[in-house]
Amino acid sequence: MAETSSKTKYYVGVDLGGTKILSGVFRNSLECVGTAKLSTKSQRGVPAVIERVARCVREALDEADLPLKQVAGVGVGAPGAVNFAEGRVIFAPNMEGWKDVPLKKRLEKQLGLPVFIENDCNIAALGVHVAELKAKPRSLIGIFVGTGIGGGLIINGNLYAGFNHTAGEIGHMVLDVNGPKCGCGNKGCFEALASRTAIFQQIKAGVKDGAKTLLTDMLGDHLDDLRSGDLRKAIRRGDKFVAHIVEDAAEYIGIGVANLVNLFSPEVVVLGGGVMEALADEMMSIIVKTARDYAMPGTMKGVEIIASKLGDAAGITGAAVLARRETR
Amino acid sequence: MAETSSKTKYYVGVDLGGTKILSGVFRNSLECVGTAKLSTKSQRGVPAVIERVARCVREALDEADLPLKQVAGVGVGAPGAVNFAEGRVIFAPNMEGWKDVPLKKRLEKQLGLPVFIENDCNIAALGVHVAELKAKPRSLIGIFVGTGIGGGLIINGNLYAGFNHTAGEIGHMVLDVNGPKCGCGNKGCFEALASRTAIFQQIKAGVKDGAKTLLTDMLGDHLDDLRSGDLRKAIRRGDKFVAHIVEDAAEYIGIGVANLVNLFSPEVVVLGGGVMEALADEMMSIIVKTARDYAMPGTMKGVEIIASKLGDAAGITGAAVLARRETR
């Protein structure tokens, strides 16, 4: 249970995703004292989702036995393009109707607290940088591999968003100009080659073509409800078909890392997201080896390539860091 | 002729390349008052090249009727990996024997002046940013297309070199993982698809396979002495074969620009280098259109994609900017 001295201020971090909303209450030290989770239900429309975000904040506070008034600020990581200064979600392709939504204003009205909005991958990179790495690296790239692939940049010790606040859109870096079609309309984007969506598509196409895999024993022929963790289980039980597809994805991630190291010369590259959380043991050594093979001589000297230990909590942690930064 | 008031201080910028050395004397206002040019003669060895750099500095000063003592500092843009703090060229693949050369120290001994060393593409980006764009954009990417492809980054108004001082190695960004072999050992690097070297290789391979082109009328069947300017001449006289190859290269440059805009969200993208200087009219509209097609929605808003007007002078200008920055 958290201290309830009325002088102690807390921060709430929210990770708003296409399928679920996570929230966490953090002390100034970034220790987490309560969390909550709700499904997003984006089909119910924008106002309903905003209400659910507010509810998720309240539920995390209830878990922590804290009243709203002890919260100094709320940070929200939102998917898609975000206007930080105005607190608007410009466009979130994975959520129905999310176009130019004044999320900051609406949430502030519901909660009576200052709210700050950032892109979800920027937020996750900030969380890893400040909470996991104690803000030591001067430059860092966060690569988050899940349904899609997103990135966040720390440059000269600070989150870097660029001119249009869109920097770090690494998922649509073209790696294979003649490669598989991407949701964005281009071919061979990073996320069309190595995201969970890309991995699952290859597995389903292989099964359709008669490939043998333990996954069909585990989940049935249609592989309904396939999750990243199932891939890990299948590989550990000796499934060569799944192992091969995951290795290919890890190689593409390694090439992506090499491109980014050539371009940014970061001190640290951090890999996170659901796919990495489930498959870090299977993928990291291939990612590191491929990245070192592909990067230019001299660019990798002293560069750390690591898997984040924050897992799913990177988003809520980073959102709390943002709230702390903006209210101090 | 330059003022010779003994109070006026000047800066010398040097562009050290694999085939030629350029130097220029600049006023504090960055007006150029004298230039010189020597071939590099890298086969004569490192000490001979360093002597030629010093000679090139003296010759530019002679052109400007100025004595060495009125120079506040000398900047040098060197190819390859550079350690700015120590003033060393770590490795320059296009120059014989250039491995860990203390260029700053040796030149300072020869000239008796403070010398500052930077990577040539960083320097060129700095020159364009400060002299051509009056340092207005907060963020800029310079893309220099010549024998290879190099880049330089301005972030938050300053040259950004990153942890290993190697940021901006855009030429080895993989764009086509199954594409043509690159000098670096990888496949489908940006510079293996769109540099002068790549364009010339495709032209020579086509001619070998019997393609018809005005270039063979102009230069003979072996295309000895082929230059970027010859491509322009052939295209303007209606050479479809050359036009097609140049258009393909422009498309790859456009894809490279889109990747970089997605990653950095810069305010301005500047294209320079020998290929752009010769073929900007033929390539720029294709580059801009392709970049806008490939970039993610929202990332291109208000972003300028322009060809530098400095041409060959970007390097010496940026080197003078460096010298001015470091001696003020």
Instruction: Identify all chain A residues contacting B170, using CB atoms and an 8 Å cutoff.
Output: 262-263
* Residue B297 burial (C-beta neighbours within 10 Å; 0-12, 13-18, 19+): middle
* pLDDT for res B8: 83
* Contact assessment for residue B213 and residue B186, using Cβ atoms and an 8 Å cutoff: no
> Residue ranges of the domains in chain B?
10-126+313-327, 134-307
The fold for domain A10-126+313-327 equals: Nucleotidyltransferase; domain 5 (3.30.420)
* pLDDT for res A80: 85
Distance separating alpha carbons of residues A3 and B140, to the nearest angstrom = 48
CATH among 3.40.50.300, 1.20.1740.10, 3.30.420.40, 3.40.50.150 for A134-307: 3.30.420.40
DSSP assignment of B241-270 equals HHHHHHHHHHHHHHHHHHHHHHHH--SEEE
Interface of B with A in 259-288 (CB under 8 A): 259-260, 262-267
pLDDT average, residue stretch B26-32: 97
Place B287 in a pLDDT band, splitting at 50, 70 and 90: very high
* pLDDT for res B1: 46
Residue A180 has pLDDT above 60, yes or no: yes
* pLDDT for res A1: 46
* Residue A187 burial (C-beta neighbours within 10 Å; 0-12, 13-18, 19+): middle
Chain centre to alpha carbon of residue A26: 19
Asked if the C-beta of A181 comes within 8 angstroms of chain B's C-beta atoms, the answer is no
Place A224 in a pLDDT band, splitting at 50, 70 and 90: confident
The helix/strand/coil state of B21 is: strand
Q: Test A262 with B170 for CB contact under 8 angstroms.
A: yes
Give the pairing type, strands A71-78 and A115-119. Answer: parallel
* Residue A9 burial (C-beta neighbours within 10 Å; 0-12, 13-18, 19+): middle
What element of type H or E holds A141? strand A140-145
Question: Do the domains A10-126+313-327 and A134-307 sit in the same CATH topology, yes or no?
Answer: yes
The length of chain A is 328
Place of tokens 């002293």: A302
Residue B205 has pLDDT above 80, yes or no: yes
Asked if the C-beta of B138 comes within 8 angstroms of chain A's C-beta atoms, the answer is yes
Count of A-B CB contacts under 8 Å: 138
More confident residue, A183 or B272: B272
Q: Test B166 with A298 for CB contact under 8 angstroms.
A: yes
Strand ranges inside B146-222, DSSP E: 149-155, 158-160
* Maximum separation of any 2 CA atoms in chain A, in Å: 64
Residue B211 has pLDDT above 80, yes or no: yes
Instruction: Identify all chain B residues contacting A81, using CB atoms and an 8 Å cutoff.
Output: 297-298
Q: Test B169 with A303 for CB contact under 8 angstroms.
A: no
Distance separating alpha carbons of residues A195 and A172, to the nearest angstrom = 11
What element of type H or E holds A271? strand A268-272
More confident residue, B222 or A130: A130
Distance separating alpha carbons of residues A310 and A57, to the nearest angstrom = 20
Cα–Cα nearest to A309, from A274, A278, A257, A272: A272
Q: DSSP assignment, residue A296?
A: P
Residue A93 has pLDDT above 90, yes or no: no
Residue A66 has pLDDT above 70, yes or no: yes
pTM: 0.93
Q: Test B169 with A81 for CB contact under 8 angstroms.
A: no
* Contact assessment for residue B171 and residue B186, using Cβ atoms and an 8 Å cutoff: no
pLDDT average, residue stretch A160-174: 95
B155, B186, B296, B305: which to substitute to probe chain A, counting the most A Cβ within 10 Å? B296
* pLDDT for res A6: 57
Average pLDDT of chain B is: 95
Give me the percent of chain A exceeding a pLDDT of 90: 91
Instruction: Identify all chain B residues contacting A161, using CB atoms and an 8 Å cutoff.
Output: 265
Distance (Å) from the C-alpha of residue B42 to the closest C-alpha of chain A?
A: 22
pLDDT average, residue stretch B24-49: 97
Q: In what order do the strands lie in the sheet with A99-101?
A: A81-83, A88-91, A99-101
pLDDT average, residue stretch A186-195: 96
Q: Test A156 with B156 for CB contact under 8 angstroms.
A: yes
Residue of B nearest to A261 (CA): B167
Cα dihedral A104/A107/A113/A116 (nearest 10): -30
- Dump pLDDT digits (tens) for A265-311: 999 999 999 999 999 999 999 999 999 999 998 899 999 999 999 99
Global ipTM: 0.92
Q: In what order do the strands lie in the sheet with A149-155?
A: A158-160, A149-155, A140-145, A268-272, A304-307
Distance separating alpha carbons of residues A21 and A14, to the nearest angstrom = 7
Query: Cα–Cα distances in Å, from B318 out to B118, B119, B151, B195, B264?
Result: 10, 11, 13, 22, 22
Give the pairing type, strands B32-39 and B20-26. Answer: antiparallel
Q: Tell me the residue type at A116.
A: F
Give me the percent of chain B exceeding a pLDDT of 70: 98
Q: Test B255 with A174 for CB contact under 8 angstroms.
A: yes
Residue of B nearest to A258 (CA): B173
Residues 6+ apart with CB under 8 A from B34: B2, B24, B25, B60, B61, B62, B63, B64, B65, B66
Which region among A79-88, A272-281, B243-252 has the lowest average model confidence (pLDDT)? A79-88
Burial string for B240-272 (b: 16+ CB within 10 Å, else e) reads: ebbbebbebbbbbbbbbbbbbbbbbbbbbbbbb
Asked if the C-beta of B184 comes within 8 angstroms of chain A's C-beta atoms, the answer is yes
Helices A240-264 and A228-236: crossing angle, nearest 10°? 120
Give me the percent of chain A exceeding a pLDDT of 70: 98
Residue B242 has pLDDT above 70, yes or no: yes
Residue B111 has pLDDT above 70, yes or no: yes
- Dump pLDDT digits (tens) for B146-185: 989 999 999 999 999 999 999 999 999 999 999 999 988 9
